[in-house]
Amino acid sequence: MTLTLLRNRLIGAFGMIALALLAGGIGARLVPDMTALDAPARILDSLAPWSLALALLVGVVLALLRARVLGVLTVVAALGGAGWILGDYLAVRQGFSKEDPALKVLFFNALGSNTANSARIVDAVLAQLPDIAVIAESEAIAEDRARLEAVYPHTSVCADAACDVMLFSRIAPVSLREERIGPLWNDRYLEASLDTPSGPLTLVAAHLSKPWFSGVSPSEHWTLIRRLRQIEGPLVVVGDWNMALWSRPAMQILHRTNLKAPPAPIPSWPAQLGKWGVPIDQVLVRDGAALGSLHAFGEDLGSNHRGMLATVVVNPPAQTSSPASASVAARRAP
């Protein structure tokens, strides 16, 4: 085989790789839900930054192989896709507030099968002593849940050990709403109205289905949008969304509800990758609620997720952006 033939074959191979990576990094974000390709597209668009970074490297390789036009086009497309993602995120981010925080909120997907670390998880939560702790797949801590309930007098109802999202609060909820968010799972949506020292606050926790549940995930997203649009006043939304905020459906949720993202996403899955993981666990704010800080929590607690530990400011000045029009009456759950 001559060097020219080998180079041409390498160019062909790397060209196909570049096309596949660009399709995953850019094309997936263009695929709407409820189509034949929505499930793989929803997986790929959460991985878009990694696809585009690899495409950039492949473009450099193509240029070194003297396929300069193809290499430059690949690099330009990868940088354009990265700019698209960055621009989308910058449009929904909100900086940390310098006001005094009203409360500390913790969210952690404990992983239901992670029962061997039940005591360690509860110890870690109590060491942080947040005002509100929300645990998803809370069956993982069933054996030690009583220890949390001893410290947190206000706990969401759980009739058995298999509850998903549970609330542990040191602040008495004015109202508490727990129900389905989709057709497959119970106990994955929770809405609590709280009276904090700085004023009223609504906290919503949502554990959304994985994106390859085609047809199920979109219905959950629209249910979440509808419910969030009915809430007025300072709002904090936490949960395992199973998708990054730059993904197509997450951006739709944020734009339709005016939720604000943290200054930079915190990678949370898989926990073993630490800061190189995908940020699928969220803490978002709106309408007079702002983040004072946000950090990862519990990457060594046996779950495949890192949790989120946030301080929340209530009613900071000049940071309100309600999505509800004046013609839509606010409705709180009884």
38-46 helix and 248-257 helix, angle to the nearest 10 degrees: 80
Q: What is the extent of the structural domain holding 279?
A: 103-314
Residue 327 has pLDDT above 60, yes or no: no
**pLDDT digits 0-9 by tens, 135-176:** 999 999 999 999 999 999 999 987 666 689 999 999 999 999
Distance separating alpha carbons of residues 25 and 50, to the nearest angstrom: 8
Domain total for the chain?
2
Q: Give the least confident one: 34-43, 77-86, 130-139, 172-181.
A: 34-43
Q: Are residues 35 and 149 in the same domain?
A: no
Residue 182 backbone zone (phi > 0: left; psi -120 to 50: alpha; other: beta): beta
Question: Same structural domain for residues 135 and 58?
Answer: no
Are 192 and 139 in the same domain? Answer: yes
Average pLDDT over residues 275-302: 96
Please say whether the beta carbons of 247 and 45 come within 8 A: yes
- Decide if pLDDT at 323 tops 60: no
Statement to judge: residues 118 and 234 lie in one domain: yes
Query: Is residue 332 pLDDT above 60, yes or no?
Result: no
pLDDT at 320 over 80: no
Of 170-184, 245-259, 295-309, the least confident = 170-184
Give yes or no: residues 52 and 74 share one domain: yes
Burial degree of 1 (CB within 10 A; 0-12, 13-18, 19+): exposed
Pair 83, 110 in one domain: no
Q: Answer yes or no: do 115 and 222 share one domain.
A: yes
Over 90: is that where the pLDDT of 39 sits? Answer: no
pLDDT at residue 319 tops 60: no
Give the residue from 57, 72, 92 where a domain finishes: 92
Same-domain check for residues 75 and 155: no
High-pLDDT (> 70) share of the chain, %: 93
Residue 322 domain flag = no
| Residue at 330 is within a domain | no
Contact 134, 238 (CB under 8 A): yes
What percent of the chain has a predicted confidence (pLDDT) above 90?
A: 78
Across the range 285-296, mean pLDDT stands at 96
Q: 57-66, 145-154, 206-215: lowest mean pLDDT where? A: 206-215
Q: What is the pLDDT of residue 2?
A: 85
CATH code where residue 214 lies: 3.60.10.10
Q: What is the DSSP track for 256-324?
A: HHT-BB-SS----BSGGGGGGSB--EEEEEETTEEEEEEEEE-TTSS-SS-EEEEEEEES-TT-----S
Q: Does 324 have pLDDT greater than 60? A: no
pLDDT band at residue 61 using 50, 70 and 90 as cut-offs: very high
pLDDT band with cut points at 50, 70 and 90 for residue 328: very low
Q: Are both 62 and 152 inside the same structural domain?
A: no
Residue 318 is predicted with a pLDDT of 54
Strand partners, 273: none
Which residues touch 181 (CB under 8 Å, ≥6 apart)? 188, 189, 206, 207, 208, 220, 223, 224
Same domain, 126 and 60: no
pLDDT for the residue 160: 62
State both tokens at 44. 């790929």
How does residue 63 score in pLDDT terms, banded at 50, 70 and 90? very high
Residue 327 lies in a domain: no
Give yes or no: residues 226 and 140 share one domain.
yes
For residue 34, is pLDDT > 90? no
Q: What is the largest CA-CA distance in the chain?
A: 77
Q: Does residue 172 lie in a domain region?
A: yes
